[in-house]
């Protein structure tokens, strides 16, 4: 079982679906074989990019097993854990572990919405999930994307209690990003700090990140890896040029409003590259309109992907 690494680019990947909206495991394995050589340090399945909330528990386990077949032993396979109840989360976490997951990205349940959020409530959610024995990544996700943001005190408690090994910061707010970064840096044990800010990737790297966990990397992995390497090596002029000429142009299209359409946009991009055949998303998500599809293709051409 490869241990997740938090100092590179982890791609949050889509799950291809057939015309009748069933998951296409063969297409998933083929897609991951295309993605693996591009320098990513891991893959996340069953998360937001993969329409994880729209998959059954059995489907999520099947996706993990298929990803494990495709890249297991070479890349860690991390699964999103999206549940509303603690007992369901523990049951699903065990099922995903048994299917071959090397770690879990823990989505905050809907009950975490609203402030103030008691730290004890968060700890009591994470503790039994941690008990199944897998590395856990906490997740700050903007509320308008269905998530919630943990305050800095709660982040510190999760780290000090040994309940998380990394945190993905996707509040899409630079002030919150910095506060979360500082909470991680000040904690009593080292954990990974991962940028999840697909709409300002370059800036988030400059603000400080050990690595990244991005849906953007599902389509533009090599570009993302190059950008992170340039920032880490202090080649700031080259990083700024790559961002201005490619990364931000594509990110602004993939993650422009409404951001819920990012899943369909990424699938359209992969289809344009010939990596997958079907761009089907599950309802209530909707396929792209023709103008939106054209915008994705145009952005890919401008960014140099086509």
| CATH number of the domain to which 30 belongs | 3.20.20.70
The answer to whether residue 264 is domain-embedded is no
Distance in angstroms (rounded) separating the CA atoms of residues 98 and 95: 5
Strand blocks (E) in 28-76:
42-45
User: Which residue range(s) make up the domain with 22?
Assistant: 9-235
> What pLDDT is stored for residue 42 in this prediction?
98
For the stretch 155-188, what's the b/e string if a residue is b when 16 or more beta carbons lie within 10 angstroms of its beta carbon?
bbbbbeeebbbbbbbbbbbeebbebbbebbeebe
Binding residues are 49
Cβ-proximal residues to 247 (8 Å cutoff; 6+ apart), any chain: 201, 202, 220, 223, 224, 227, 303
Phi–psi pair at 284, nearest 5 degrees: -85, 0
Residue 270 domain-assigned (yes or no): no
- The total domain count for the chain is 1
Per-residue pLDDT of the chain (306 residues), as tens digits, is 678 899 999 999 999 999 999 999 999 999 999 999 999 999 999 999 999 999 999 999 999 999 999 998 899 999 999 999 999 999 999 999 999 999 999 999 999 998 899 999 999 999 999 999 999 999 999 887 888 999 999 999 999 999 999 999 999 999 999 999 999 999 888 999 999 999 999 999 999 999 999 999 999 999 999 999 999 999 999 999 999 999 999 999 999 999 999 999 999 999 999 999 999 999 999 999 999 999 999 999 999 999
Binding site as annotated, residues for pyruvate = 49
Contact 57, 83 (CB under 8 A): no
User: What is the C-alpha radius of gyration for the chain, rounded to an integer number of angstroms?
Assistant: 18
d(CA 77, CA 232): 25
Q: How far apart are CA 278 and CA 217, in angstroms?
A: 19
Put residue 248 in one of left, alpha, beta given phi > 0 → left and psi -120 to 50 → alpha. alpha
Does residue 171 belong to any structural domain of this protein?
Answer: yes
pTM given for the model = 0.97
| pLDDT value of residue 2 | 78
Three-class SS of residue 37?
helix
Task: Compute the distance between CA of residue 13 and CA of residue 45 in angstroms, rounded to an integer.
Answer: 6
Q: Is residue 196 part of a domain?
A: yes
Identify which of 194, 203, 198 has the alpha carbon closest to the alpha carbon of residue 215. 198
């Amino acid at each position: 079982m490869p241990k997740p690494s938090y100092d590179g680019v982890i791609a949050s990947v889509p799950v291809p679906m057939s015309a009748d909206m069933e998951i296409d495991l063969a297409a998933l394995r083929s897609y991951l074989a295309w993605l693996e050589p591009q320098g990513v340090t891991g893959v996340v399945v069953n998360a937001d990019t993969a329409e994880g909330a729209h998959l059954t528990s059995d489907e999520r386990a099947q996706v993990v097993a298929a990803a494990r077949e495709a890249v297991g032993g070479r890349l860690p396979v991390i699964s999103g854990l999206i549940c509303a109840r603690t007992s369901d989360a523990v049951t699903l976490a065990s099922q995903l572990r048994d299917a071959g997951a090397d770690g879990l990205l823990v989505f905050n349940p809907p009950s975490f919405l609203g402030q103030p959020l008691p730290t004890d409530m968060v700890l009591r959610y994470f503790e039994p999930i941690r008990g199944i024995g897998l590395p856990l990544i906490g997740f700050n996700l903007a509320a308008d994307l269905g998530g919630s943001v943990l305050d800095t005190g709660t982040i510190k408690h999760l780290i000090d209690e040994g309940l998380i090994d990394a945190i993905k910061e996707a509040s899409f707010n630079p002030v919150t990003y910095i506060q979360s970064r500082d909470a991680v840096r000040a904690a009593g044990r080292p954990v990974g700090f991962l940028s999840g800010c697909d709409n300002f990737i370059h800036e988030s790297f400059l603000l400080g990140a050990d690595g990244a966990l991005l849906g953007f990397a599902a389509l533009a992995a090599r570009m993302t890896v190059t950008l992170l390497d340039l920032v880490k090596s202090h080649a700031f002029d080259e990083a700024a040029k790559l961002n201005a000429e490619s990364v931000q142009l594509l990110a602004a299209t993939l993650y422009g409003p409404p951001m819920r359409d990012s899943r369909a946009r990424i699938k359209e991009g992969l289809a344009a590259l010939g990596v997958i055949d079907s761009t089907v998303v599950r309802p209530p998500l909707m396929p792209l309109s023709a103008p939106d599809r054209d915008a994705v293709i145009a952005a890919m051409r401008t960014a140099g992907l086509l």
